[in-house]
Amino acid sequence: MNAPLRMNAEARKRHREAARFLLHVLDSGDLGLWSDAPAVLDRKLTEEECAFAALSFLKALPVDVALPVVEAWAGGTEFESALPDVVTGKISAAEWARRANANELKAYTWAAVTRMSTRDRESLKRKLNGDRG
């Protein structure tokens, strides 16, 4: 019989914090919170733990859903370095948007819109529908 693996207290604390974050995101129903996951999980899990979790999530999806997810990740990794330039003002948001691929534009638009207040979303909807008032 194998002895159970012993985790040190720091590893257990990191795992509890990662689990709390994931539960919060899932319980909230706010898809915009998923945009915070990379920063949180990078601090709380090892690379190996993140890799196994990512693979497990992908395996839970049908292939026709998993492939676009992998493609979005692969397409986004080479371009993400331009994003800090927008934040620091080295390039304009319009220039960043010109360089972005369709999946990146959709992902960042979705993330931005879901983080807006209801009032701001309604205002954006009116502007998109041509109502300037």
Q: DSSP H helical segments within 35-129, as ranges?
A: 37-44, 47-59, 63-77, 83-88, 93-99, 102-115, 118-128
Same domain, residue pair 53 and 76: no
Q: Tell me which of 45, 60, 75 is where a domain ends.
A: 60
Q: Tell me which of 34, 60, 86 is where a domain ends.
A: 60
Same domain, residue pair 66 and 53: no
Mention every residue, 6+ apart, whose C-beta is less than 8 A from residue 124.
113, 116
Same domain, residue pair 72 and 116: yes
pLDDT digits (tens, 9 = 90+) for 10-33: 888 989 999 999 999 899 888 888
Same domain, residue pair 34 and 71: no
What is the residue range of 39's domain?
A: 1-60
Same domain, residue pair 23 and 86: no
Question: How many domains does the chain contain in total?
Answer: 2
pLDDT digits (tens, 9 = 90+) for 56-76: 988 998 887 777 777 777 765
pLDDT digits (tens, 9 = 90+) for 114-131: 778 888 888 888 888 887
